[in-house]
């Protein structure tokens, strides 16, 4: 495997209150190489999404460390972790999470506007618009820039979500069931988009139930009983 860019070391995570606790991760270890397209598979409820959220700093582990190029991002204080997360990670979710009152272009631009802030945005606006339009064009949505999410198909909405995730040129793209709500044909189209990104060198972690998506990854691992079971290399 290439040089490790992201690593989970001995991750434990439980949820609940009082005497009611559910242990989800129990000493999970996982290393992702730079430029690797990794698929994480496992039964429903096995904790796949939890692994993704912990890796990306959305959630914090009860115990263990998440290392980005050797630095423990899981121990950073909230504001610092949020800043690092916005610069390192891009997220693609099963249900798109687009803002319905905004156009496709505005949805892609929104995270960049938030990152830059009110004072810096005017100077960054032209370059950001250029990049957002380029990304949407690469997603074959050049004619849909000013359409709102409810005017787009499920596949088009997911492509907008992928463009949004790529806007800040993330070092690692984290995808949670990116084809989970799509029909077979549309899911195949989204897989093509993700595989193209992988061939271009984008580091990715894909949590998926879709065997077609998992089989196209460079490597796949299985999450069971709170731990990662290493798998064989794929494509």
Q: Give the CATH number of the domain where residue 125 resides.
A: 3.40.50.300
Question: Does some domain include residue 1?
Answer: no
For the entire predicted model, the pTM comes to: 0.91
pLDDT at 165: 96
State how far the Cα of 131 lies from the Cα of 139, in Å rounded to an integer.
Answer: 12
pLDDT in tens, 162-188: 999 999 999 999 999 999 999 999 999
Q: pLDDT of 117-152, one tens digit each?
A: 888 888 989 999 999 999 999 999 999 999 999 999
Assess if residue 182 is contained within a domain: yes
What is the count of structural domains for the chain?
1
Would you place residue 1 in the very low, low, confident or very high pLDDT band (cuts 50, 70, 90)? low
Q: Is residue 167 part of a domain?
A: yes
Tokens found for residue 5: 């860019």
Sheet order of strands, 172-176 included:
89-92, 172-176, 203-207, 37-41, 219-224, 227-229
- Band (80; pLDDT cuts 50, 70, 90): confident
The full 3-state SS of the chain, as one line of letters, equals CCCEEEEEEEEEEEEEECCEEEEEEEEEEEEEECCCEEEEECCCCCCHHHHHHHHCCCCCCCEEEEEECCEEHHHCCHHHHHHHHHHHEEEECCCCCCCCCCCHHHHHHHHHHHHHHHHHHHHHHHHHHHHHHHHHHHCCCCCCCCCCHHHCCHHHHHHHHHHHHHCCCCCEEEEECCCCCCCHHHHHHHHHHHHHHHHCCCEEEEECCCHHHHHCCCEEEEEECCEEECCCECC
Report yes or no on 104 lying in a domain: yes
Using an 8 Å Cβ cutoff, are 52 and 66 in contact? Answer: no
Predicted local confidence at residue 223, as pLDDT: 94
- Structural domain contains residue 17: no
What pLDDT does residue 114 have?
A: 86
**Is 12 within a domain?**
no
pLDDT of residue 234: 56
In a domain, 6, yes or no: no
39: in domain: yes
46-50, 79-83, 130-134: least confidently modelled range: 79-83
Domain range for 174: 35-60+77-229
Question: Average pLDDT of the chain?
Answer: 92
């Amino acid at each position: 495997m290439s040089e490790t860019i992201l690593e989970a070391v001995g991750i434990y995570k439980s949820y609940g209150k009082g005497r009611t606790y559910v242990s989800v991760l129990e000493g999970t270890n996982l290393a992702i190489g730079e430029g690797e397209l990794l698929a994480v598979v496992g039964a429903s409820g096995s904790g796949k999404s939890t692994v993704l959220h912990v890796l990306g700093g959305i959630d914090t582990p009860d115990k263990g460390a998440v290392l980005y190029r050797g630095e423990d991002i899981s121990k950073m204080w909230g504001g610092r972790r949020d800043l690092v997360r916005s610069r390192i990670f891009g997220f693609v979710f099963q249900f798109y999470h687009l803002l319905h009152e905004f156009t496709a272009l505005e949805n892609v631009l929104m995270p960049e506007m938030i990152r830059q802030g009110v004072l810096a945005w005017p100077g960054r606006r032209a370059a950001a618009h250029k990049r957002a339009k380029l990304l949407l064009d690469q997603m074959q949505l050049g004619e849909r820039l000013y359409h709102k999410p409810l005017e787009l198909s499920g596949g088009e909405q997911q492509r907008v979500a992928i463009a949004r995730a790529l806007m800040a040129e993330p070092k690692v793209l984290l995808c949670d069931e990116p084809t989970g709500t799509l029909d077979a044909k549309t899911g195949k189209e989204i897989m093509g988009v993700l595989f193209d990104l992988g061939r271009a060198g984008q580091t990715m972690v894909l949590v998926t139930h879709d065997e077609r998506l998992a089989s196209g990854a460079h490597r796949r691992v299985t999450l069971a009983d709170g731990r990662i079971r290493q798998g064989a290399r794929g494509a």
